[in-house]
Chains A and B, each alone.
Chain A
């Protein structure tokens, strides 16, 4: 945390301490610096959060009020039960269930497949290692969006259109690359001696991986889990194309039906959206500290 702080020496207006050879503007600036930074921070936070606050305010008023001119920031009439309505809406609960099943299963499978692959490539030299890493890197460049027609044809032939399995397979495959890269970086950074010591003590290779390596790569695992879960939770195009059965749609696709040409329930759309956003923001905020370390180790080659 503190290592990143650069030229500043904290609030340096302590009396008796002469700021050495600072130009006069610098000295004045140093005194107000904490306030300037906090103010800038506040403005930034407001800019990023404001659209979503408007979303909350629009969720708490009847849809007719959202579509009234002139628009107002605050509701003319408050409608407190929107969230209650949404949470007891059977369709919404179906979509929520789909999202949870798809995102959670994809995340687990990504971990189960990526951890051994990343560990092995980090620790062993073999013919085809470079090719394997190249293949992984290439999948990073393919996006499900670009391949959506091909994916549709494949799942259509396999009779998997309209199934959770099709979404799980897609999300798993397209998130593997990132997971393997991140974890590979983490495994490589752990000194070999630690592992050898464990093996001398009679640990099998799997046991070493499980009991020694995984705990040491916890930040990498946390980053991987979060990224995969969020990518799967927010995936849109493939679900839009593959799932036509209303009950099996995930949230991203399902909630669009609150505002269509026929029905304009902006309040419900936004309440449902917020229910979809809040868990992810909390998840992200909880790992915010790991996020900085996690991105350097794996992503920064």
Chain B
């Protein structure tokens, strides 16, 4: 199935100068499109638009409305609150910690996942005995629900009952167990480790797809020219992998930023907001904290949505998404 999306490799180069591989920009094949009037599109796009409007955009509007409303502790709307909820969120004593946590969490998980996935994808693209089984094993954390994996790691990393501490003691790396999920120095690193673990499969597969799209004759030429393997990698593989790296980064920024179960579950026993990211902060404001404030939570939610939009746009700008896409 490897060449299927490419439409039988070179056979299709009659009309548009389409790139031969599967990763063509969907918009660039413009010549193959017929012009129609907008209303003709309605029956085809209508259902999708209605659903997106009703279940994505309407809740966003509700969120804005909730963020400017005053709610009773039971969730009944008491009236308008103006911008008071935003002020309260901005004045929240833990906001600084939460923002720093979020940056550390997203940057660390993204960077470590990309670096490790580059190596993993390289390995998995080679032929070797048992490769299929290895690829299946790599899929498991992707297929497993994040809550389940998070729950599993609360036990694996436990101070008393965790097999990880048992291993560290047995091997002699440590004399005393580490309180991975309770000790302030270890909580964030532990969450990042689990975050990377569950992010690796998807990232690796995107990069694997990218590696596959690189024609092998490029390497052939490089070898004839006497390039060392490292030169071939840094001058050919990495540049040609750019579109895949970009897709993996952008999607991972969105996923990791919005990731709830890991931070929420691994950090469950710690009171306060010392290890929360903006997403769990928002959730706890509405459902867990002393305030139980739907309005404040909604305000934080709006901030989250704007933040992720800004981050993705800046990232696309900096990495010049357009240039690679065209």
Report which A residues bind B (CB closer than 8 A): 1-8, 10, 34, 37-38, 40-42, 44-46, 48-49, 51-52, 54-55, 58, 66-73, 112-114, 116-117, 119-129, 132-133, 135-136, 139-143, 145-151, 153-154, 156, 169-170, 172-174, 176-177, 180-181, 184-186, 188-193, 218-220, 230, 233-234, 236-237, 241, 251-253, 255-256, 259, 266, 269-270, 273, 276-277, 280-281, 283-285, 288-297, 299-301
Contacts and interface: CB of A to CB of B under 8 A. Distances in A.
B15 A191 contact: yes
Which 7 A/B pairs are nearest by Cβ-Cβ distance?
A150-B59, A297-B5, A150-B63, A173-B55, A120-B44, A37-B128, A45-B137
Contacts of A139: 52, 56
Contacts of A34: 128-129
A245 B177 CA distance: 40
A261 B140 CA distance: 29
A5 B11 CA distance: 23
B55 A280 contact: no
A300 B244 contact: yes
Contacts of B18: 189
B44 A293 contact: no
A280 B139 CA distance: 10
Contacts of A55: 152
A22 to B, nearest CB: 11
Contact of A276 (B23, B145, B216): B145
A170 B48 CA distance: 13
B126 interface: yes
A277 B148 contact: yes
B208 interface: yes
Interface of B: 1-7, 12, 14-15, 18, 21-27, 29-30, 32-38, 40-41, 43-45, 47-49, 51-52, 54-56, 58-63, 65-66, 75, 120, 123-149, 151-153, 155-156, 160-163, 165-166, 197, 200-201, 205-206, 208-213, 215-216, 219, 223, 229, 232, 243-244, 247, 251, 254, 258, 260-261, 279, 282-283, 286-287, 294, 297-298, 301, 304-305, 308-309, 312, 325
B146 to A, nearest CB: 7
Given A38-B128, A117-B48, A300-B210, A145 B279 contact: yes
A295 B32 contact: no
